[in-house]
Structure 1
Amino acid sequence: MKSLLKHSFWLAPLIAFVGFVSYFTVFVQFPSLRDVPWVNLPSVILASSFAVWGLVSNWSMIGNGRRILHLGGMLFAVGMAGLLLFYVFFLSYQMPGLSETTRQLEKAPNFTLSDANGEMVSLSDFRDKKVVLSFYRGFW
């Protein structure tokens, strides 16, 4: 039993890492999973709890040199949970909503700009054609 507890403790950072990374690589693509990460939050919170419990219950059995490794694993798992909670419940709500930034299917007003060769190009030159306009602010 002691050996099982000692080795199963390393599952906590792994579970926390998988829960954290899978949110950004897989689950963020689906709105129902992105907005309420019902798979990721329990996995990182469970992993953090398991890491803390494993460290506290095995503290007397762990040698001094390995305590730092176990403490690092626990801090990693708790850190992954904290970062995911911070992103999901704070940073993601700071971003503007889609309706505030994108107005689709609106007719753009006519304008004229110079192209890379210095020739003037007007939006009306592309009437009855599909046009994608992308405006962004640069820092160059």
Structure 2
Amino acid sequence: MRHRKQTTRREPTIALINVVFLMLVFFMVASTLARPLDPDLKLVRTSELDGRAPPDTLVLHADGRLAYRGESVASAQEFYAALPEDKTDVVRIVPDEAAPAATLVNLARELREQGATRVLIVTERGLEQR
């Protein structure tokens, strides 16, 4: 009796490729479930807007100066005292991008100590135009 040579069976790579392709198609379809915007909709363009701070915000300049409504302010206490009573719970700060972070954190802490329940930092959202 002869020993039969055992042949190794090859793995079916075509089946594996098919499964991967089907998963790819599934994820492509699943990721587009959100309805697209109406084609007739025109979005608001903000590229021509003036970059002014909102009127009831404290502006922190790069050199540490403070301003409120275009006027110089000596301290966070002076700014908080000048706010209308209905606007003292939420305070907004518009910092210059070159302003030191430590100065901004200390300013926010001072405003919280004055009685502000929330201190919001207003920033510009960087959107790339295409």
Would you call these one fold, judging by a TM-score over 0.5?
no
Q: If the length of structure 2 is used for normalisation, what is the TM-score? A: 0.29
Greater helix share, structure number? 1
Greater strand share, structure number? 2
The structure whose RCO (Cα within 8 Å, separation 6+) is larger is 1
The structure having more radius of gyration, on CA atoms, is: 2
Q: If the length of structure 1 is used for normalisation, what is the TM-score? A: 0.27
